[in-house]
Amino acid sequence: MKFEIEDVTVYFPYDNIYPEQYSYMVELKRALDARGHCLLEMPTGTGKTIALLSLITSYVLSKPQSPLKLVYCTRTVHEMEKTLAELKKLHDYQVKHLGPAARILAVGLSSRKNLCVNPRVLSAENRDSVDAGCRKLTASWVRALAEKNPGVPTCEFFEDYERAGSGAVLPPGVYTLQDLRAFGKQKGWCPYYLARHMVQLANVIVYSYQYLLDPKVAGIISKEMQRECVVVFDEAHNIDNVCIEALSVCVRRQTLEGATRNLHRMEQEIDRFKATDESRLRAEYQRLVEGLALRGDLRVNDTWLANPALPDDILKEAVPGNIRRADFFLRVLRRFVQYLKGRLETENVEKESPVAFVASVTNQAGIDQKTLKFCYDRLHSLMMTLEITDTDEFLHIQTICDFATLVGTYARGFSIIIEPFDERMPDVQDPVLQLSCHDASLAIKPVFDRFQTVVITSGTLSPIDLYPRLLNFNPVVSRSFTMSLTRDCICPMVLTRGSDQLPVSTKFDMRSDLSVVRNYGRLLLEMVSVVPDGIVCFFVSYSYMDEIVNSWNESGILKEIMQHKLVFIETQDVVETTLALDNYRRACDCGRGAVFFSVARGKVAEGIDFDRHYGRLVIMFGIPFQYTLSKILLARLEYLRDTFQIKEGDFLTFDALRQAAQCVGRVIRSKADYGMMIFADKRYSRHDKRSKLPGWILSHLRDAHLNLSTDMAVYIAREFLRKMAQPYDKAGSGGKKTLLSQEDIEKMGDGSLNDMLY
Amino acid sequence: MASAQVIKRAKYKTTVKDPGTAGVLKMAWDRFIFTPNHPNSASNLDVEFRFIKGHKNTKEGSNKPPWLNLTNDQGGSYIFEFESYPDLHTCRDFVGKSIGRSGETPTAASGKTDASLPDEQISTAELELRIKLLRENSELQKLHKQLVIGGILTEAEFWATRKKLLDRESSRKSKQRVGFKSAMISDIKPATDGRTNKVTFSLTPEVILQIFAEKPAVHAAFLKYVPKKMTEKDFWTKYFKAEYLHSTRNAVAAAAEAAEDEELAIFLRNDDILAKEARQKIRRVDPTVNMEADQGDDYMHLPDHGLFRDGGKDIIESQYELYRRTLAHDLNRHAAVVLEGRTVEVELEDTRTVAEALAKLKRVESANEDSDGTANQGILERIARITEIEDLQASHGPPLAPLCIKDPRDYFDSQQVIAVKAPAAEGKKCNLSSREAYGSLRDSISQTKQMGLLNPVVKTKDALQVFNALSHDISRTKYDVGKNPQDSVLDKLPSTTKEQLLHHWTSIQELLRHFWSSYPITSSYLYAKVNRLKDAMSQIYPQLEEIKKSVPAHHKQHVSVLVRQMHQALDAAFQHYDADLQKRSAKSSERPNGYV
């Protein structure tokens, strides 16, 4: 359908539109007009992605003079594929209606592993990772060698791509990873480097969060983007965690040992150069005096990450005098590694601020803050001078320099925590020195500064006022949409008791109670016999899941469950989990029905949809709190309390409930879909916990469903499923329309539409 | 077959209440002999099977002892009490066969011309099946009695037209392919004898097949080691030892044991074959669930970056990873195998054959996988379908599954029945003479010439007439009996007449079927058969007349309509027979040598 929002003609690839989608587009358009950032919460299953894509592409189409570009960030590759599939549908529709003028170039960018087409690199016999295999064939020094000696193998796809030069471009269209591979194979060009190159030219780029948020990666992949970009972070409820991860570094014994080896090798190289070609070292020295922090002049096919600290923080000043000379710099690094070794040999947990840590480094190792700050760039320069190209051998020393630069740059928002062992496994000695970032706004700040519009959207951003504080930005639009349903197609329940009326909970003191384990088992068993097709269960952690599944196995409950449905489990092995998930879907497709056991903070919960028959019921066993004794978490909580006045308990509850909401929220795909959600923990019945759930779940949580036992829940489930099996009017009955047709939109002006919606 | 005999211990009773005489029952192919243990007992029996007309026996599970009751043609009976039900079953089956044979022997004897079908070798199983069918279906039994025992058809001819019935019966057992059970095989619990520390596992071929399917390493090891390196028993002992070590969840102990015993290590280690399979499968996984794609991005997964001991992450025990196998892994593997549902098409008897059949199946599968290039396309289409929001647009038609006829015979036979029925119903309502028909045709042609084509080519009135005539006849066919009883004429008739009519109808059908199927007559055997059939058919006429006479006056009308149809069918056959005979005699006058 085609309709107008103010001055923009929106092309939407369906015959009907949900009212939420329409108002979502209206809000989004306001943000684009205002060239500001926005924060939009819309329930899952209301077609966020397609609404967003179709508004932004239509916006660009209606203003052909603006060079607006869409950068769409997803958390995972499979979400990226889904987004590209939707974009493809949209693009087809727009081209059909507007002709070739609507053609755009949209590419998905991923790692070598997902894009490589070279059969030699991919072959199963090849034990190397794809990355290593690729580098062995494409590194500049290998290629230089191959020119002299034709016997050295290179990658013909990369060679052809290089030979094609600027002629190697993708024709307009939407390219999923599969399409890129197919195109690359057909042309004989390397799809990975082609995609990297096309990022500069594409109208729409879909890639992972880190490619934009992690300064090390963003510095090489996203550095040449213009300001006129709309950056979208989809499923962004966890964006604060991604941000702090991007700026955190940990140092372990292995790291230090590796770094020592690296230093030794570099020393040998320097000696060699001193003997043969000392002028090079002198030239480098001169460059450093002039203050040229060299970055970005390594070839695209060699791996060298950008500076871990943010580009704006790198002063354009000369490198400090004491590390300009190569051997002096090595000596500094050696002292630093030695110092870190000493710090790791601790018996107790230590926690320090960066300022105190730098002071201690200055005192004990004689390295000042400014020197630390320049470590990373100085190392880069040195390695270029020494013509070291097998950079992945030197990852350890890079990590150390990362660490040094971050510690030297930031005085606030970080802390250094040294733990001699993991709290949960006190008998295994594994000391870790962790530089932990607490302030999510640091990593995302350059994104907000650089691009004119940043959209943060997800199904669960409640409470919506918290995110601007955590990420430190001022959205021009901040809205949370509810869901207008044609019928009550979601049925959330809070289960507090088993059929024997004993309470159930994953509270630490009662999670291993036999009665809790048994009641959870009986709940699943009852549900398995009532609910058709797929059921998903989320547990609070792998260890808890392991424990409970084992005890179900011993008590025979698991066997009974398996008489009704096949059982699949998420494990920490991603390959196995993926296959299990694939099989789970197949079991649901063929009508056999299956149960999937998963973990609330695991990979599956992060972005796999259990819509339609893939998930008719989600059971959340317990509340997925973080491990509250973790030192890193405690330090972060302290920081949040001091800076943002967010109470520890509030943040923990907020974090746990957004995870829970995320887990259960994936059952709905559209208003025609339906699903049940069971929160199986007595604590959910308390108002302070429950109220943190997103509004669209709360509005369907009836008072009568707040304190259920297993038998009551089974009864409700039966009734619900029977009700959902009845035919219904899709457009919605009564005064409230839940599905708008072309006519509806044309008939109603904006004013009356808004009246109807809210 | 003739030499087969059964000897069982039994008690002979003259009546049910009689305590019985203990002795030995010996059954040969044509007779049974009972010899009492007590030599001077009077109850010595020697009876030929052809005098036996029926047999009854007590049901297993009822609280009666295992009795077999044989009734002879004089109405007397012989009752035998066996020691056990299996004995009873053996004898009953034997008797059943013998009675069936004694019925057919005279046929074979009477029809003993040089023109019999080549001897068919009937297996006992097939014979049993026939007897069972006859027993279950009284109509069939009647027909069998009349036609086969009456000497009109041979046994073989009778059954030849009922092959399908036999096939269905025999294939019923093996038709459904059994998949794997949902229950896990780890549920095999050992049996302990309570005194010693020994445990006993009992393995069935089914369980073994499942173990092999779920654990390719065990399968490979079996093919490699048994029986060259170790016996099968040793093999399974080792296997269960390894399972026991797993169940203790003591990775350290498992590692220690594995270090000592090379073969044991195979069971303890992670399965390499599975890992390889997984690597292959992961490439064909739906990209929208492929979480593996996120792994190993060279930019995002640098060592020592990010938060190491975050509160949100779980800890992993990495020690002895090699010897650690979790329940989760087993569950996933089990469910995957059950879902694949591969079945081995061999009798599950010997472990070795099971192992080999499975290996063969796997080779076939892997060959298939290599060749399918369309899989990717399918995945892409599926993704496109899944990403659509279903209620925002008009729904697509429901997905269609292509018609797949597993057994083509089922399909074509049913079609044929319909095709055969239609002309049979139509052929009888035409009473016009050819002259009249020609006239009307000419009229209509000239009419069309004058007026051009009318829009309805056939006049509505005529169409209605034809339709009525057609449906009128259809409602009278036998197939409607019971479906709409108020319409059927048959139900109004007295039950004896009805039964007689129906019986005649089926036997006429049977005879006609054989009659028509014998044409063209190509051998003297067929000629003889046709003659036999003709004689039998000609006997039906007076019988039909008799029925007509016997019914009360107010039913005469209906009966005569029914009988007329039968007459017509028979007449057609005779007409054909006479015509054929004339042709033949004309030919044979040219070629006096007789039939070819």
The CA distance from B389 to A668, in Å, is 11
Residues of A in contact with B299 (CB under 8 A): 111, 210-211, 214, 216-217, 220-221, 305
Nearest to B496 by CA among B560, B558, B557, B547: B547
DSSP-derived pairing of the beta strands A617-621 and A534-539: parallel
Q: In residues, how long is chain B?
A: 596
A and B: number of Cβ contacts within 8 A: 258
Nearest to A667 by CA among A498, A518, A534: A534
Q: Are A401 and A333 in contact (CB under 8 A)?
A: yes
DSSP B480: G
Q: Are A464 and A270 in contact (CB under 8 A)?
A: no
Q: Which amino acid would we find at residue B226? A: V
CA atoms within 13 A on the CB side of A205: 24
pLDDT band at B417 (very low <50, low <70, confident <90, very high): low
Give helix then strand counts, H and E, for chain B.
20, 9
Angle between helices A514-530 and A557-564 (to 10 degrees): 10
Look at B276 and A124 and tell me if their CB atoms are within 8 Å: yes
If you measure CA to CA, which chain A residue comes closest to B280? A124
The CA distance from B25 to B90, in Å, is 12
Burial A412-437 (b: 16+ CB within 10 A, else e): ebbbbbbbbbbeeeeeeeebbbbbbb
Q: Which amino acid would we find at residue B346? A: V
Burial A83-98 (b: 16+ CB within 10 A, else e): bbbbbbbbbebbbeee
Q: Give pLDDT, residue B114.
A: 38
DSSP B149: I
Residues of B in contact with A435 (CB under 8 A): none
Angle between helices A354-365 and A369-385 (to 10 degrees): 70
If you measure CA to CA, which chain B residue comes closest to A575? B292
CA distances (Å), origin B303, targets A35, A248, A304, A548, B312: 38, 12, 14, 32, 19
Q: Give pLDDT, residue B424.
A: 47
What is the enclosing helix (H) or strand (E) of A479? strand A475-480
Q: Give pLDDT, residue B123.
A: 67
pLDDT band at B227 (very low <50, low <70, confident <90, very high): confident
Q: Give pLDDT, residue A526.
A: 94
> What's the token pair of residue A194?
């082609």
pLDDT above 60: residue B473: no
Look at B297 and A630 and tell me if their CB atoms are within 8 Å: no
CA distances (Å), origin B125, targets A484, A516, B103, B129: 68, 58, 18, 6
Indicate the SS3 state at residue B218. helix
Look at B309 and A210 and tell me if their CB atoms are within 8 Å: no
Residue reference for tokens 């094609």:
A164
Q: Give pLDDT, residue B485.
A: 44
The CA distance from B319 to A136, in Å, is 31
How many CB atoms sit inside 10 A of residue A150's CB? 8
The CA distance from A619 to A601, in Å, is 15
Look at A208 and B297 and tell me if their CB atoms are within 8 Å: yes
The CA distance from A496 to A707, in Å, is 6
* Grouped pLDDT means (10 residues each) for chain A, 758 residues: 88 89 92 92 86 92 84 90 90 90 89 85 67 78 81 87 85 90 90 88 90 82 82 91 89 91 91 83 76 48 61 59 85 93 89 93 91 86 76 83 90 90 76 90 89 91 87 91 82 93 90 90 94 93 89 89 92 88 91 92 85 92 88 90 89 91 85 91 91 87 92 95 85 68 73 49
pLDDT above 80: residue B354: no
> Based on the number of CB atoms within 10 Å of its own CB, is B248 exposed (0-12), middle (13-18) or buried (19 or more)?
exposed
Residues of A in contact with B341 (CB under 8 A): none
Most confident of A549-563, B310-324, B513-527: A549-563
The CA distance from A551 to A520, in Å, is 11
If you measure CA to CA, which chain B residue comes closest to A437? B307
The CA distance from B26 to B22, in Å, is 13
Mean pLDDT (whole number) for B115-143: 68
The CA distance from B323 to A466, in Å, is 46
Q: Give pLDDT, residue A742.
A: 81
If you measure CA to CA, which chain B residue comes closest to A16? B392
Better pLDDT: A253 or B391: A253
Residues of A in contact with B394 (CB under 8 A): 15
Residues of A in contact with B331 (CB under 8 A): 549, 567-569
* CA angle (A591, A592, A598) in 5-degree steps: 110
Look at B332 and A583 and tell me if their CB atoms are within 8 Å: yes
Instruction: List, for residues B474-511, the tens digit of each pLDDT value.
Output: 555 444 444 444 445 666 677 777 788 888 888 888 88
DSSP B115: -
* B 106-125 residues inside an 8 A Cβ radius of A: none
CA distances (Å), origin B136, targets A254, B75, B133, B159: 81, 22, 5, 15
A249 touches chain B (CB under 8 A): yes
Helix/strand/coil percent split, chain B, to 5: 60, 10, 35
> Based on the number of CB atoms within 10 Å of its own CB, is A287 exposed (0-12), middle (13-18) or buried (19 or more)?
middle
Q: Which amino acid would we find at residue A439? A: D
pLDDT above 90: residue B128: no
Q: Give pLDDT, residue B428.
A: 47
Q: Are B407 and B171 in contact (CB under 8 A)?
A: no
How many CB atoms sit inside 10 A of residue A109's CB? 23
Contacts of A182 (CB under 8 A, 6+ apart): none
Mean pLDDT (whole number) for B550-554: 75
Nearest to B46 by CA among B73, B28, B68: B28
Nearest to A71 by CA among A46, A27, A107, A111: A107
Chain B closest CA to A280's CA: distance in Å? 30
> What's the token pair of residue B323?
């010897």
DSSP-derived pairing of the beta strands A475-480 and A37-41: parallel
Nearest to B298 by CA among A465, A119, A220, A368: A220
Burial B60-82 (b: 16+ CB within 10 A, else e): eeeeeebbbebbbeeeebbbbbb
* A 40-99 residues inside an 8 A Cβ radius of B: 47, 50, 76-78, 81-82, 85-86, 88-89
How many CB atoms sit inside 10 A of residue A14's CB? 21
Residue reference for tokens 């008590």:
A555
pLDDT above 70: residue B356: yes
A18 touches chain B (CB under 8 A): yes
Kindly report whether the peptide bond that precedes residue A191 is cis, defined as omega within 30 degrees of 0: no
The CA distance from A292 to A285, in Å, is 10
pLDDT above 90: residue B563: no
Residues of B in contact with A432 (CB under 8 A): 308-309
**CA-only gyration radius of chain B, Å:** 37
Q: Give the lowest-confidence range in A512-521, B85-94, B565-574.
A: B85-94
- Of the partner residues A217, A581, A590, the one whose CB lies closest to the CB of residue B299: A217
Chain B closest CA to A217's CA: distance in Å? 6
Nearest to A545 by CA among B185, B292, B336, B331: B331
Phi, psi of A443 (to 5 degrees): -75, -30
| Plot region of A366 (φ>0 → left; ψ -120 to 50 → alpha; else → beta) | left
Chain B closest CA to A687's CA: distance in Å? 24
Look at A113 and B296 and tell me if their CB atoms are within 8 Å: yes
Residues of B in contact with A112 (CB under 8 A): 298
DSSP B551: S
Residue B451 CA from chain centroid, whole number: 60
Mean pLDDT (chain B, rounded): 71
Rounded to two decimals, the ipTM of the complex is 0.83
